[in-house]
Structure 1
Amino acid sequence: MVATPAYTVVLNWLEEQLRHGKIRVGDKLPAERALAEHFSISRASVREAIRILDAMGLARSATGSGPQAGATVISEPSAALGWALRMHIATRALPVKDVVTTRLLLETQAAWDAASGENDDHTDRDDILSHARDLLDRMDDPEISNDEFHALDAQFHLLLTSLAGNVVLETIMVSLREATIGYVQETVATLEDWPSIRATLQTQHRDIFTAVTDRDGKLATRLLRDHITWFYSLVPRAEK
């Protein structure tokens, strides 16, 4: 029987403290020595717990002395999920095809909700749509680099997803985008007529934007599905 690592007591303790509101995002964690003494474990085990929390997007450590030193509780779930997905995609345990299918399921639902307004709690809907329009205008600039285009593309999709009003869905979508950016960049590098493809993507983006703005959920969903599947069809078979 495998023994439970000593550092898990710190993780379990923090989960309970967060759940009951005794520790909140932005609070400092107790010092290493205090945690080690409280749980009767080594300081090395405490440091391992802090490293794991950092990797999970739940803590940020600062070295040195003074008020900024030590570990602070944060909440950045998409960063942790994104890294985990990227690593497992790299091992091929998670096929890119399945990741794309998952994105289709989630983002088309988000498009429906964003357009229909069924979960519309956004008082700043107009501001979000205005920002999305500005991103599209910037993406029209033929002088921007491919990397900048991809970054703006990701922001555009995530802005529309945010209109669905589902924080968990938005977090997962951020993670999926971060996890697949590498394969997107590799795919673009192999395409012979990228300027033409980029123009097609922009036409699709604007059609999706118009459907969401017009609150046509059915059309927005269909256009987004066609948009994602069309680009994925360009991926070399070996990468699928």
Structure 2
Amino acid sequence: MPQTTATQRAWRTVLERIESDLLLGTLGPGDRLPSERDLAADLGVGRSSVREALRVLEVMGLIRTATGSGPQAGAIVIATPSGGMSALLRLQVAAQGFPLADVVQTRLVLEDAVTAALAADGQRDLGGAYALLDAMDDDQLTAPEFLALDAELHYALAEASGNTVITAMMAGLRTSIESYVLEGSARIEDWTSMAAHLRAEHRELVAAIAAGESDAARNLVHAHITGYYTAAGLVPDRRAVLTDQN
């Protein structure tokens, strides 16, 4: 079973605190993060939540962690958010609390445009998407970690499309998207099977884009988005989402 909603909120609390410190310049390259114990005590969360947040930040390339003792142990900042990453972190703050129906319908519109544009672009660069697909193949990822990488993948595809407005809108929606998909993950009894299903859908989608198959890619991204919300019990069924969109 995925983690509970309370644990998911705790994990997001840690991640958002560190992201805020990075954006404000309170933390910068070479700085060491407080220990897991200190972060847990300061934020009132469990150490497992701290570890999950640090793991995602490490996958994003913002920190490096090392076990043991000495000057190289613990979590050290190795990069600061810049460019698209900075926009991603800043804009998501403004997107708290959007209605689920609005989020789903907007995702369908935006990601339809993204997949169509990428499939039609012979110069497309999917390197970032492939790296995230590989990262999501790790069977040890928890549901929150997996879904954070999932959100990164969809954002990476938007960024690869070259449309800066769509990229900014996807960045602004990230918090709302993650909030709802995490809520839904708690309702999925067999998360291992769901994660495998999502991995396969991601691979199929990116393969269709790489092959220039625009119609197939658009159909796949629609099925992927509506399928998860339906399986997680967040919407009654796939037809309801598509009907509301029209």
Flag the 1:170–1:84 CA change in 2: closer, same or farther, 3 A: same
* Alignment equivalent of 2:95, drawn from 75, 81, 85: 85
Higher-Rg structure is 1
Kindly provide the amino acid, as one letter, of the partner of residue 106 in structure 1.
Answer: L
Matched residue of 1:141: which SS? coil
Flag the 1:154–1:99 CA change in 2: closer, same or farther, 3 A: same
* Alignment equivalent of 1:210, drawn from 207, 212, 218: 207
* Counterpart in the other structure of 1:50: none
Gaps of 5+ in 2: 1-22, 27-81, 242-246
Contact kept, 8 Å, 2:148 with 2:178, in 1: the verdict is: no
Contact kept, 8 Å, 2:201 with 2:224, in 1: the verdict is: yes
Distance in 2 between residues matched to 1:237 and 1:144, nearest whole Å:
23
Equivalent residues in 2 for 1:123-162 (5 A)? 125-126=124-125, 129-162=126-159
* Alignment equivalent of 1:106, drawn from 106, 110, 120: 110
Which protein has greater RCO, CA pairs closer than 8 Å, 6+ apart? 2
Kindly provide the amino acid, as one letter, of the partner of residue 189 in structure 1.
Answer: A
1:215: Cα distance to partner?
Answer: 1.3
Flag the 1:238–1:213 CA change in 2: closer, same or farther, 3 A: closer
Q: Give CA-to-partner distance per residue, 1:178-202, whole Å, 9 cap, x none.
A: 2221221121122101111111111
Q: Give CA-to-partner distance per residue, 1:121-143, whole Å, 9 cap, x none.
A: x6xx44xx233222212211211
The RMSD of aligned alpha carbons is: 2.7
Q: If the length of structure 2 is used for normalisation, what is the TM-score? A: 0.57
* Counterpart in the other structure of 2:29: none
Distance in 2 between residues matched to 1:114 and 1:207, nearest whole Å:
14
Distance in 1 between residues matched to 2:235 and 2:130, nearest whole Å:
35
* Counterpart in the other structure of 2:232: 235
Contact kept, 8 Å, 2:151 with 2:174, in 1: the verdict is: yes
* Counterpart in the other structure of 1:33: none
Q: Give CA-to-partner distance per residue, 1:43-79, whole Å, 9 cap, x none.
A: xxxxxxxxxxxxxxxx9598xxxxxxxxxxx985554
Distance in 2 between residues matched to 1:189 and 1:217, nearest whole Å:
33
Q: Percent identical across equivalent pairs?
A: 35
Q: How many residues end up aligned between the 2 structures?
A: 158
Kindly provide the amino acid, as one letter, of the partner of residue 138 in structure 1.
Answer: A
Q: If the length of structure 1 is used for normalisation, what is the TM-score? A: 0.58
* Counterpart in the other structure of 1:193: 190
Kindly provide the amino acid, as one letter, of the partner of residue 177 in structure 2.
Answer: T
